[in-house]
Amino acid sequence: MRPILLSGHERSLNQIRFNRDGDLLFSVAKDKIVCAWWSANGERLGTYAGHQGAIWTVDVSPNTVLLATGSADNTVRLWNIKTGECVKVYDFPTAVKRVAFSPDGSQLLAVTEKRMGFLGTIVVIDIAYGDGQLGNLEQQADEPSLRITCNESKATVAGWSYLGKYIIAAHEDGSVSQYDPKVRQHRVYVTGERFLTPDQTGEQLENVQAHEFDHQINDIQFSADRTHFITASKDKSAKLMSARNLAILKTYPADTPLNSASITPKKDYVILGGGQAAMDVTTTSARQGKFEARFYHKIFEDEIGRVRGHFGPLNTIDVHPAGTAYASGGEDGYVRIHHFDKPYFDFMYEVEREQLRK
Amino acid sequence: MAPSFDTLTEQDLHEEEEEEIDFSDLKEQYEVKVEEGLDTFVVIDGLPVVPEDSRQKLVKFLLRKLNTVGQTSEDAVYMPLNDKGMSEGYAFVEYETPEQAVAAVKQLHGVPLDKKHILSVNKLMDIERYGREGRVEEEYVAPEVEPFKEKEHLRSWLGDPNARDQFALYRGDKVGVFWNNKSNPPENVVDRAHWTQLFVQWSPKGTFLASVHPQGVQLWGGPSFSKQKQFPHPFVQLIEFSPLEGYLTTWSARPIQVEEGQPILTYEEDGKNIIVWDIESGKPLRSFVSHDLAAGPADDGEVQPKKKVQWPAFKWSADEKYVARMLQGQSISIYEVPNMNLLGKTSVKIEGVNDFEWSPATVTREGVKQYEQLLCFWTPEIGSNPARVAMMSVPSKEIVRTRNLFNVSDVKLHWQSQGAYVCVKVDRHSKSKKSMATNLEIFRVREKGVPVEVVDSLKDTVINFAWEPNGSRFVLITNGENPTGAAVPPKTSVSFFASEKKGITAGNFKLVRTIEKKTSNGIYWSPKGRFVVVATVHSQSNFDLDFWDMDFEGEKTDADKDLAANLQLMKTNEHYGVTDIEWDPTGRYVVSSASVWTHSMENGWNLHTFSGQTLSDNPTEKFKQFAWRPRPPTFLSKEEQKQVRKNLREYSKEFDEEDKYAVDIANTAVVETRKRVLNEWLAWTRREKELLAEEKEAFGLPEEADSPKLAKDAPVGGDSEGDTVVEEIVEEIIEETEEIIG
């Protein structure tokens, strides 16, 4: 499994995303530039310039028309992927730590930072796709359709469940919550008369202390059918949870704080990445860092392999939607794309093989 | 159960509860005010009744006795007279300090004054307290005998059917005791948070586990690790068991302050640092003020370096009959146990004495019939007198062997575990004091006249030395030349020595092999001998563990054919950041560990077999201490042990089968769990799928709602601008040939 090394960033990577077809890979780093790459050979397709600060997050619309990025310059930008134009800028009072398109691409959520007296929020923006011919993409709603404020502990990452039914957010205190994103009509009775009012609060349906208290959750990523998701936490573990009721299905213990976790389609694995945080690495040798991508079996929770290569903590991992490759972005400023070899697909537990024969 | 020391005894608990109730009003009403400062008074009864004029004479006579235990004067003795001008047969005496009054009660009570009169001496306070009418029940009530309670079997762990060993693991705030299960995860026996404040320590035969708290030492034992004994030495810092578990020595830097109401400690212990306890009774035998070791000479202009604690302060003879302590440079005090009186009522004066060691076993010297314990000590060069190493026989205090040495900078005494040899490691300097070298002077204790063999072939200083337990071989590490100021860690050499084959008795010690250019600094012999681990510990850059076999069962090189050894390196392991290495008591396993007490990188412990095969890695957050539970010596006689050794093959067949069976069972269990887990997962996904389909229907969405092709307003497929060609280079090996050139 020879990796393709992408050295297009000058600073540490923050997030990488494959598009839905898996032919493109987008990466954002602290150096204010968004890069687009061909995932097959690692050739750089282009960049999207315009942000004024470190870019924390990126997501691709399911149809690969729009690209959303969130940055420390307190903006979310929408880009025309094909032309590289910035089609829309949303301003926020604080930095944006995570953006995510809903499964059908009609909405975008953005997680904003808690800072300077502003509480952390999760906002939902309706997204339009112009005339269907890549024209009129500038025509977007100016205001978010929903705003969820995190009063207790700020949300660090968030994403959409199956059908866009819930917003799942993970928090700084190690808890995971489920919100209802639907703008629903509530019946309100005032002196016997019935009114219909739109309820815009984004009610919190559930909150589960999934990880150790006060250990931040750094990433959540969903399975292909979005019925379950994986969290990666500073408490050195990753958990597989049900999107429906936030039940903890599996736990993957690691020996280092985790920054990212991903579920592989096609094979039942998960990939975890992390490593000692840059500020905690003091006088230690490279062996201390544990800068490896770890593969666990999703169902049996056993560690089955590691991939080395980065010389800094792994900040972000994404898996090709077809399950044929994965990419990792590190504190060292590199993105590594690994296309899986045959043994990866052949590996199977005896019980799985039996199951298959039945 | 959170076994913090505060809640250790029921009694303590009740006291605390009582404290909480406010009964100050009652207290005020009923409290008997005892006048302050009466602690120095004693009442003496049983005196002769004398007329007024001879009273003075009696007082003077009495004073002679009274002044033997403390300071008092004629003015401080009050002997009241009755109406008839006769004394009443008692007197009040004031001493200078309360301690003297206590001493008077202890030492003069029941002592005859003359032929007819026997003194009874009591504290005035006690007379107040108990002497008044009604204070003490008139009728005698026999103390209640507590019903017999069966205690836990203190050696139950030895009855494990698989003869597994236990170990204590201290990490974070928790201490746990576990069974070693080879490569499988250890089986937990108990695991308690805040079990100890400083560290844990097993007693030498494994009966007790000691935990150390600011309030004192607590011993635990039995299958459930229940409370066994308690030794309330406040702020205790160091503890030491005697070799047969009869006694315990505790030390605190802070002198003990005895408060009223302390049931166990008395004025005797006040101001002392060291207590020697009797474990059986839980009572102190005797307490001492610690002698500090003389600190090294202060460098010019610098503050006097801190004094070092001498520990173990008390060293025990092998049979626990004697315990000795050295006053550096002056004397060795040998106490008889258990009465703790000085042997022969005096310390042994040895000018300049620097260190001493008891023989770890009771040795019988050739031609010596009577019972004796041996101890070895050394004195440095004083003036023109040479340095001296001597061996003393106890209780006779006779010096049985001495040896004079010159140009000595330091001496270390190493007894072999059976007491058959003492190796005296002598660091000598050349006349110019520029270069150093080490000589080994080996005393053959068992042989007639205690002959001394000198090993002077070493050119460098020896930094570590260790005898093979129950053997006549040893390993030492020498320090090579070091480029000064270089950042590289010092290079060391490891040398193995064995005796020449010569009939029954061991012949001369000869070098077997020297391994150069190592960094090793630790030698860890298997408790059963033969195998030894030589390792680099507490190092920043080297972490190697070499597993050596001294009796390799293969070809022997010609050079070694006369030696009782066949050296073979079995394996070299690495354990990053290793700080401690400990063999299990049976010599089957070795644990290397990296403790957070030394550094905070990759703490944890690794389990290896005696041959260096690593069985498990256990990275543990905040790992502090690993301690194997020692075992008492075997009850099998020599013949029985021989029998076992002879039939080893038979036994091992049995064990192999058991092992295989256990592995089979474990494998089946693993497969079963996997099957179950897989089925559970498949069921879960199936159910989710159904629910998802239902919800899609409810939302009125087609089955493929999530498919990217149906994503909202997808751009027209097949872009008219033409397809982009992506170039992908795929390397494929078509053929591989191998050619040998030349």
Contact A134, A82 (CB under 8 A): yes
* Position B128 confidence tier, pLDDT thresholds 50, 70, 90: confident
A129, two tokens: 């796709």
pLDDT number for residue B626: 94
Contacts with B477 (C-beta within 8 Å, 6 or more apart), sequence order: B462, B463, B464, B465, B492, B493, B494, B495, B518, B520, B521, B523, B534
- The answer to whether B454 contacts chain A (CB < 8 Å) is no
DSSP string, A43-85: -EEEEEE--SS-EEEEEE-TTSSEEEEEETTSEEEEEETTT--
- Out of B671, B685, B699, closest to residue A163 by CB: B699
Neighbours of B456 (CB within 10 A): 12
Q: Residue A245's closest chain B neighbor by CA?
A: B688
Contact A249 B691 (CB under 8 A): no
Residues of B in contact with A350 (CB under 8 A): 671
pLDDT confidence bin for B268, thresholds 50/70/90: confident
How sure is the predictor about B14, in pLDDT bands with cuts at 50, 70 and 90? very low
- The minimal CB distance from A299 to the residues B677, B695, B696 is found for B677
Q: What pLDDT sits at residue B303?
A: 47
Nearest to B265 by CA among B252, B253, B256, B255: B256
State the amino acid at position A279 in one-letter form: M
Contacting residues of B for A246, CB less than 8 Å apart: none
Shortest Cα distance, chain B CAs vs residue A93, angstroms: 30
Residue of A nearest to B715 (CA): A132
- Segment A73-102 mean pLDDT: 93
Residues of A in contact with B685 (CB under 8 A): 227
Q: Which CATH class is domain B35-131?
A: alpha beta
Cβ contact A133–B692 (<8 Å): no
Q: Is the pLDDT of residue A253 over 70?
A: yes
Say yes or no: B683 contacts chain A, CB-CB below 8 A: no
Looking at this protein, which amino acid is placed at residue B629?
R
Mean pLDDT of B74-92: 84
Minimal-distance CA residue of chain B relative to A104: B711
Q: Which residues of B touch A226 (CB under 8 A)?
A: 706
Q: What is the mean pLDDT of residues B444-471?
A: 87
For A152, left (φ over 0), alpha (ψ -120 to 50), or beta?
alpha
Bridge partners for B477 per DSSP: B464, B494
Q: Which residues in chain B are closer than 8 Å to A357, comparing Cβ atoms? A: none
Domains of chain A: 4-179+205-357 (2.130.10.10)
* CB-defined contacts A:B, below 8 A: 91
CB atoms within 10 A of CB B428: 19
Q: Chain B contacts of A106, Cβ < 8 Å?
A: 712
Kindly list the residues from chain B whose CB atom is less than 8 angstroms away from the CB atom of residue A40.
726, 728
Residue A137 C-alpha, separation from nearest chain B C-alpha, in angstroms: 11
Classify residue A196 by burial, with Cβ atoms within 10 Å: 0-12, 13-18, 19+. exposed
Cβ contact (<8 Å) for B713 and A284?
no
Give me the phi and psi of B237, to 5 degrees please: -120, -35
DSSP alpha helices (H): ranges in chain A? 286-289, 342-346, 350-357
Q: What is the radius of gyration, based on Cα positions, of chain A? A: 20
CB B207 within 8 A of CB B171: no
What pLDDT is stored for residue B254 in this prediction? 85
At B115 the pLDDT is: 81
Q: Which residues of B touch A300 (CB under 8 A)?
A: 674, 677-678
Q: What is the pLDDT of residues A292-316, one digit of tens each?
A: 999 999 999 999 999 988 888 999 9
Q: Are A293 and A328 in contact (CB under 8 A)?
A: yes
Question: CB distance from A208 to chain B under 8 Å?
Answer: no
Measured in angstroms, the CA of B506 and the nearest CA of chain A are apart by: 48
Sheet of A293-297, strands arranged across: A258-264, A269-274, A293-297, A303-307
Q: Which amino acid is at B389?
A: V
Asked if the Cβ–Cβ distance from A162 to B692 is below 8 Å, we say yes
CA distance A33 to chain B (A): 23
Total residues found in chain B within this entry: 742
B692 touches chain A (CB under 8 A): yes
Minimal Cβ distance to B708: which of A23, A63, A227: A63
Q: For residue A319, give the nearest of A260, A239, A237 by alpha carbon.
A: A260
Chain B residues with beta carbon closer than 8 angstroms to that of A130:
713
What are the tens digits of pLDDT across the range A316-357? 999 999 999 999 999 999 999 999 999 999 999 888 888 888
Query: What pLDDT does residue A281 have?
Result: 57
| B631 closest CA partner among B189, B178, B207 | B207
Q: Looking at this protein, which amino acid is placed at residue B33?
A: K
Q: In what order do the strands lie in the sheet with B461-467?
A: B461-467, B474-479, B492-499, B509-518
Rg (CA), chain B: 36
At residue A295, the pLDDT reads 95
pLDDT bin (cut points 50, 70, 90) of residue B718 is: very low
The mean pLDDT of A167-195, rounded to a whole number, is 75
CB contact under 8 A, B714 and A300: no
By C-alpha distance, the chain A residue nearest B695 is: A163
Q: Degrees (nearest 5) of the Cα angle A223, A227, A232? A: 50
Chain B residues with CB under 8 Å of A65 CB are: 713-715
Q: Tell me which chain A residues have a C-beta less than 8 angstroms from the C-beta of B688.
A: 225, 227-228, 242, 244
Q: Closest approach of chain A CAs to the CA of B622, in angstroms?
A: 13
**Is the CB of A352 inside 8 Å of chain B's CB atoms?**
yes
Q: What amino acid occupies position B481?
A: E
Are A206 and A241 spatial neighbours (Cβ–Cβ below 8 Å)? Answer: no
Q: Is the pLDDT of residue A177 over 80?
A: yes
**Given this model, what pLDDT does residue B674 score?**
92
pLDDT at A232 over 60: yes
Query: Would an 8 Å CB–CB cutoff place B682 in contact with chain A?
Result: yes
Question: For residues B210 and B412, what is the distance between their CA atoms, to the nearest angstrom?
Answer: 30
Percent of chain B with pLDDT over 90: 29
Distance (Å) from the alpha carbon of A117 to chain B's nearest alpha carbon: 37
Q: Which of A41, A133, A284 sits opposite B716 (nearest CB)?
A: A133
Sheet of A13-18, strands arranged across: A13-18, A24-29, A33-38, A44-49
B670 in A contact zone (CB under 8 Å): no
Burial A227-263 (b: 16+ CB within 10 A, else e): bbbbbbbbbbbbbbbbbbebeebbebebebbbbbbbb
Secondary structure class of B683 (helix, strand, coil): helix
Say which of A62, A300, A351 has its CB closest to residue B708.
A62
3-state per-residue secondary structure call for B533-560: EEECCCCCCCCEEEEEECECCCCCCHHH
Residue B223, preceding bond cis, omega within 30 degrees? Answer: no
The answer to whether A249 and A240 have CB atoms below 8 angstroms apart is: yes
Q: Evaluate if residue A14 carries a pLDDT over 50.
A: yes
Q: Report ipTM (2 d.p.).
A: 0.87
> Chain A neighbours among B 583-642 (CB < 8 Å)?
601-602, 619
Q: Does A358 touch chain B (CB under 8 A)?
A: no
Chain B residues within an 8 Å CB radius of A342: none
CATH architecture for residues B314-456? 7 Propeller (2.130)
- B167 CB contacts (<8 Å, ≥6 apart)? B177, B178, B180, B186, B584, B591, B626, B627, B628, B629
Mean local confidence (pLDDT), B262-275: 79
Task: List, in sequence order, the alpha helices (H) in B157-264.
Answer: none
Q: Decide if A129 and B728 are in contact by the 8 Å CB cutoff.
A: no
Q: Are A242 and A231 in contact (CB under 8 A)?
A: no
Chain B nearest-CA distance from A154, in A, is: 28
Distances (CA, A) of B53 to B58, B666, B729: 10, 98, 129
Closest CA to A227 of A210, A246, A202, A211: A246
Lowest mean pLDDT among A157-166, B96-105, B590-599, B629-638: B96-105
Indicate whether this model's pTM tops 0.90. no
CA distance B171 to chain A (A): 16
Angle at B478 between CA B313 and CA B475, to 5 degrees: 75
User: Measured between alpha carbons, how far is residue B487 from residues A173, B45, B703 in Å?
Assistant: 44, 78, 69
Q: Is B295 a residue whose pLDDT tops 70?
A: no
Question: Alpha-carbon distance A37 to A24, whole Å?
Answer: 6
A23 touches chain B (CB under 8 A): yes
Return the exposure string of A146-176: e unless at least 16 CB atoms fall within 10 Å of the residue's CB, then b.
Answer: bebbbeebbbbbbbbbbbbbbbbbbbbbbbb
What's the pLDDT tens digit per position in B181-194?
A: 888 889 999 999 99
> Is residue B113 pLDDT above 90, yes or no?
no
CB-based contact B715 A65, cutoff 8 Å: yes
Higher pLDDT, B705 or A234: A234
Residues of A in contact with B696 (CB under 8 A): 163
Instruction: Indicate if the pLDDT at residue B270 is higher than 60.
Output: yes
Q: What pLDDT does residue B283 have?
A: 87
**Over residues A26-49, mean pLDDT:** 93
- Nearest C-alpha of chain A: how many angstroms from B195? 24
The reply to whether residue B726 touches residue A38, judged by beta carbons under 8 angstroms, is yes
Q: How far is B683 from chain A (nearest CA, A)?
A: 12
Report yes or no: A182 at the B interface, CB cutoff 8 Å: no
